[in-house]
A and B are shown apart, each in its own frame.
Chain A
């Protein structure tokens, strides 16, 4: 007698089971196939080509009506199974029951829906089946239609590319910092984002959906940061979970999925399960490769043969035409693991191999994935790669040869890339000079003026020489920025400007960083260069700042902090002093000190009190003194004409004006100013980064003083007649320093490199340039001149600064 097999779910896994079963025992089974979808088995992974228009539904059907008829399979499509009666061994849909001897559950997964307001509006769908695909195709029929895809993983991006191919305007909202974060690393994610953007898809990373807007139908998507994207169609592709509802109701053993043993049998010996709905050894699976193995085991088990399911590694590819991406295995950083990273910025290629104990355990590739399957084979087989380690990254075809060229970044620059910013000399000019016979830095300086001014581009000019002349030019050894790159502090900012690199992954990829995410030396520097160059485009990265700047207070040796309110030009009043005294009482401040920069320092504050003390001081009108910042610290003043019998000008007033103009700006290192009312110099202006001495006939402006590790007197930048000129020159000088100095060089160190004369030419003599510098400074200030206390004295920050959890009250058993 034929045994009755009932299958719940006509998906990719059950389709395979049916094939194996019929192949081995064509007459042994009466099969009944239920499917919630009103159709039979089709190749679900090809929905993306259907969406993009490269295939039709007919092309992806794996089993058609003829097949089912021929094999006597009872099809109950469009009937969702709602109950399993394990005692009577019958499954029920709303249309009736079907008895079984053996039952196979193959219900796949259900997509997540983020329960934000508006998620139930018509026009909001997930991406799982043919109906979803058809809904998206229909939505694209409207001219000018807009789509928002929530989720930048595999599915979301395939949906986005498909919708774009259908002519819709598409935005992808992704919660994480880069796309496909589970399969890629930031560099590959950056290249992928660039590719998608080049197709016209908007990508919004770090975007949290707050609500879906609309009255009768979706109209737009609102993010936490206030951004709104118009939408005729919203596709949520934020994840899936195993579809276990009927199994749960039937009291089968469930973990995250339906628990099965190696034979794919559930806790009921007559019920098997296969596919995305199962959990095997606490592991879930979401790609088809393991399901095909499972299907074989299911068929063997049903036929009474021995077989055991053993999970294997899977590899991921994004099925978007023209995007080459491959990821397999485990590529997280970890102790004892080594990375081999290869970047070819010019071709947009990135490859990373992860090696542990002489075996390849992970690979990510972007742009050139030809060797993907070879690497995948090495991972699966656990091949010992120690013999080919040096050349491994170049793939199977590679035999011997040289390492990647460290000059590649410069060699890849286009001829019109600007190399010398001061003189506006581009790479082409230098290359022609070299072709005309120039062979040394001095020749280039003489013939083209490149690097003849401030000199920050010297390293780059040398690299152009080296990459053009080859061995004929001997590079002076330059100190790289850190272990993550061969490039120096001079090269990096210049390349950031010339190639318009506007994010950290962009810099690391395009300039060939050797580590996956930098280190504590390069990250703060890159963060500064990027925000100084692109104030409007770059978003400051708090995690790349030193603790003091991140917490807006100075950390002390015992882990407490000191808090310094700003006192403009050293002035204060009884109300402010009272507020400071009250705060000192309220937060049990152990020490209150007057600083060398004419302010009051509250020492010994607990971290979790910081947002609270800021709020209190803010309420009294005080703002942060940035006593911790690589930015403007203080403007020290004397009392000047207001009280002093020697005063020649309003030194206090000028100090206040300068401080109000400059505060909040980030600079390569801290910047201190002083204004003295006469040459008696009570404000000690002659040892500041900028020191102004007022005299009867005007203002003497000195720059490049120091009174720290080095002691240095300022050099005279200029003497000017009016207060306005004194302010203009100071602002222009600070901006020039911001744009040209290397991170962590105080102005005096930078001046020693570029020379006072060059600075004078830029800010004193060249009035247009002075105005342009001031304009750029002011633009940056429109974004960065914000009181961090006011920004962070919020309940959110108060929560962020408090411990995540307090277990001190949990009793030990």
Chain B
């Protein structure tokens, strides 16, 4: 993997998200209440809701449009809903957020 520094942890509010634009669409980078970061596609598989604008609870986010809930770790929809979003490796080091650049610049292979 080649890690790319995309910004400071503090650029994202706790239980919030910011976007990273890529040629293949937007990736939402979340910071959870316990200061972990997760990166997933910003499009809800239901009707395209921007997941970055959802309410973050635990390691899940609720889509702001129709309340589907997604795991930030696996990208899977929770509960009765079916669907998934792509996830991207992300980590924090020394207060900086690192994403796996190869997949972001080339886009998800699948």
Contacts and interface: CB of A to CB of B under 8 A. Distances in A.
Contact of B58 (A333, A524, A557, A558): A333
Contacts of B33: 177, 186, 516-517
A808 interface: yes
Contact of B29 (A177, A804, A813): A804
B84 interface: no
A544 B15 CA distance: 9
B12 interface: yes
Interface stretch (A379-387, A545-553, A571-579): A545-553
B69 to A, nearest CB: 8
Given A804-B18, A804-B20, A810 B64 contact: no
B104 interface: yes
A544 B4 CA distance: 30
Interface in B20-43: 20-23, 26, 29, 32-36
16 contacts: A176-B14, A177-B33, A185-B34, A332-B59, A333-B59, A517-B57, A520-B57, A523-B55, A543-B16, A546-B64, A559-B49, A804-B29, A805-B7, A807-B4, A807-B105, A808-B23
A555 B42 CA distance: 15
Question: 10 smallest A-B Cβ distances: which pairs?
Answer: A804-B18, A520-B62, A547-B53, A520-B55, A543-B15, A547-B64, A805-B6, A333-B58, A803-B19, A335-B73
A516 B32 CA distance: 12
**Chief secondary structure at chain A's binding surface:** loop
A440 B59 CA distance: 43
A515 B57 contact: yes
Interface of A: 176-177, 181, 185-186, 332-335, 515-520, 523-524, 542-544, 546-547, 550-551, 555, 557-559, 800, 803-808, 810-813
Nearest to A804: B18
Given A543-B14, A803-B19, 18 more contacts: A177-B14, A177-B33, A332-B59, A333-B32, A333-B58, A333-B59, A335-B71, A515-B57, A546-B64, A558-B48, A800-B18, A804-B12, A805-B6, A807-B6, A810-B105, A811-B105, A812-B23, A813-B105
A181 B35 contact: yes
**Chief secondary structure at chain B's binding surface:** mixed
Contacts of B58: 333, 515-517
A557 B53 contact: no
B108 interface: no
Contact of B57 (A523, A557, A810): A523
Contact of A181 (B34, B47, B67): B34
B2 to A, nearest CB: 10
B50 interface: yes
A181, A800, A808 — most chain B CB neighbours (10 Å) = A808
A335 B13 CA distance: 22
A559 B64 CA distance: 10
A804 B4 CA distance: 13
B82 interface: no
Contacts of B55: 519-520, 523-524, 543-544, 546
Contacts of B11: 804
B105 A518 contact: no
Interface string B82-103: 0000000000000001000100
A791 to B, nearest CB: 15
A812 B48 contact: no
B21 to A, nearest CB: 4
Nearest to A182: B35
B19 A807 contact: no
B102 to A, nearest CB: 8
Nearest to A524: B55
Nearest to A559: B50
A609 B29 CA distance: 20
B20 A807 contact: yes
B55 to A, nearest CB: 4
B47 to A, nearest CB: 7
A114 to B, nearest CB: 12
B106 A812 contact: yes
B77 interface: no
Contact of A803 (B18, B32, B56, B62): B18
A811 B23 CA distance: 10
Contacts of A555: 50, 53, 64-65
Nearest to B61: A520
Contacts of B19: 803-804
Nearest to A241: B94
A805 B101 CA distance: 12
A520 B54 contact: yes
A140 to B, nearest CB: 32
Given A804-B11, A804-B29, A333 B21 contact: no
Contact of A543 (B20, B56, B73, B105): B56
Given A333-B32, A557-B65, A518 B20 contact: no
A176, A334, A800 — most chain B CB neighbours (10 Å) = A334
B20 A805 contact: yes
Nearest to B6: A805
A800 B13 CA distance: 10
A518 B57 contact: yes
A335 B69 CA distance: 13
Contacts of A334: 59, 73
Contacts of A181: 34-35
Contacts of B14: 176-177, 543
Nearest to B5: A805
Contacts of A518: 57
B106 to A, nearest CB: 5
A335 B21 contact: no
B14, B47, B69 — most chain A CB neighbours (10 Å) = B14
Contacts of A520: 54-55, 57, 62, 67, 69
Contacts of B49: 559
Nearest to B106: A812
A516, A544, A559, A813 — most chain B CB neighbours (10 Å) = A559
A806 B13 CA distance: 19
Given A177-B14, A812-B106, A557 B21 contact: no
A524 B20 CA distance: 27
Nearest to B7: A804
Given A333-B58, A334-B73, A517-B58, A807 B22 contact: yes
Contacts of B64: 546-547, 555
Given A334-B73, A558-B48, A559-B50, A807 B57 contact: no
A808 B34 contact: no
A551 B57 CA distance: 19
B21 A812 contact: no
A702 B29 CA distance: 48
A571 B27 CA distance: 42
A523 B15 CA distance: 12
Contacts of B50: 547, 555, 559
A813 to B, nearest CB: 8
A69 to B, nearest CB: 44
B23 A543 contact: no
A550 B21 contact: no
A557 B47 contact: yes
Contacts of A524: 55
Nearest to B47: A557
A456 to B, nearest CB: 26
Contacts of A803: 18-21, 26
Contacts of B69: 520
Contacts of A176: 14, 35
Contacts of A551: 53
A393 to B, nearest CB: 19
A191 B47 CA distance: 42
A558 B35 CA distance: 30
A520 B105 CA distance: 32
A186, A333, A806 — most chain B CB neighbours (10 Å) = A333
A559 B55 CA distance: 15
A186, A332, A544 — most chain B CB neighbours (10 Å) = A332
Nearest to B75: A335
B30 to A, nearest CB: 11
